[in-house]
Structure 1
Amino acid sequence: MGIPHTQSFGITLPNSIGHYPLGDQALVLSFGDTISEAVNARVRQVATHIENWSQPGIIEYVPAYTTITIYYDPLLTSYNDLLSALQPIVRDIAENQEYKRVKKEIPVYYNGEDLAYVAQYNGLSEDEVVRIHSEGEYLVHMLGFVPGFPYLGGMDKRIATPRKDVPRLRIEAGAVGIAGQQTGVYPMTTPGGWQIIGHTPLQLFDLSKESPSLLEMGDCVRFVPITYDEFIQLKTKSNGH
């Protein structure tokens, strides 16, 4: 039996937003079951308010595809206190509000070790995979897995490819991958099971910067094919050499 989207705690949130506890120190807001731009916009609206929230006892919040999880100190606040404080925040969110999305370009040298497999799996040439992948416009639905890793929606199903059965123990930072009908970029060296089709010279996560993550939830991303020489030049520049 799945987790219900709304449980009865004496308080109902407006705008059809569900809620349920995650243990005894977290509250999950649920905005539905469907991954979409509309749901993403509603998650972002509420997350923006929570970012500057003065509610006592809040430890952190984690926005995802269709939820926001709020972690709190039960000695300083309670589940119902949070629900009461959330009511004015969620009351006025617009069902169909459109955001002006920040557009960002990610240069990619399409030399990935799995590019040939993605092409073969989908009955395409490697050039067709590159063309389809770089023609798309992608929405950053959420960041997760490791700091700064963007989960990008909007990829053409013609190049959708399952994750690897056995993940690699090491994938280099900057690797651009495909998993199912999602695409994403590894911001740091880590194990992973996505099909790697290319690499970007950009540094997606840098703790020395005030805003460490290059990409943020809600950004609009386009991939731009580059040559090997351009990759080396941009890599050198990105590293500050």
Structure 2
Amino acid sequence: MMHVRHFTPHFLRVSFVSAMALVASGCSMAQTESFTFQADIPENFTVSPMAYYESASGESCSGHNLIQSEQPKGVRPVEFKLSLTDTAKGCSMVLTKVVLHIEGQWGKRELDMSLQTAGLSIHDEPSEAVRTFPPSGPLVFQGQCQWLFRTMGPYRYIVKILECRALDANGVVQKSLAGGALQRDQLAGKTVKLVLTVAKEEQPYFGRSWLETPKGWKPCIETKETFRCQTPPTFTDFKMPDGRDCSVYPNCTE
């Protein structure tokens, strides 16, 4: 079986058609088991899965193989085919985890973005952590992303940091990253879906450095002892990404 180090959905479709043509012509080819990963993500977000493979049990080779999947920004729906097995340097490899790289764009400039990760771990044995597939449809993992604002640099420009966490069955945000555990022998031919939403309100990255007022969030000078706002608070100004001088976020002026 050919070792694939970089593939796209288009490449997979072409490979599948080629394989069917060979079978029809009398050639035999082993079909690689795979599963489908889908993502339902907010506008201005992208997800790129990175699949990690390790040597199969009993193999003498060491190390791991890495396959990166990419999809152009803005392409919907987000969908990838991920192989459960691979070969590298003559060694049989099995998928052990998928790291999901999440990129969120918060501003108009190319650098106005932030990165976060989610993940899928692949288990050989059943465990309490492993999610089971429903009778029909995809296995869905829910997550929520939160934009956290802060100031940076000598001119105190506003920047934003992305934080994405798992949601439980009741929609409560968890401390763990979005994603979860899967059992290998349940995956072939199935679909796993990540559904991400964004919290309605932004929060300060350093909560002790901002005070919430009826007009919005105001940055304050901290004490050296507690790293909290002084009492009474002494406020300072900051700049929006477009260069405006502001005193309250996100309204800029009071």
TM-score (norm 2): 0.24
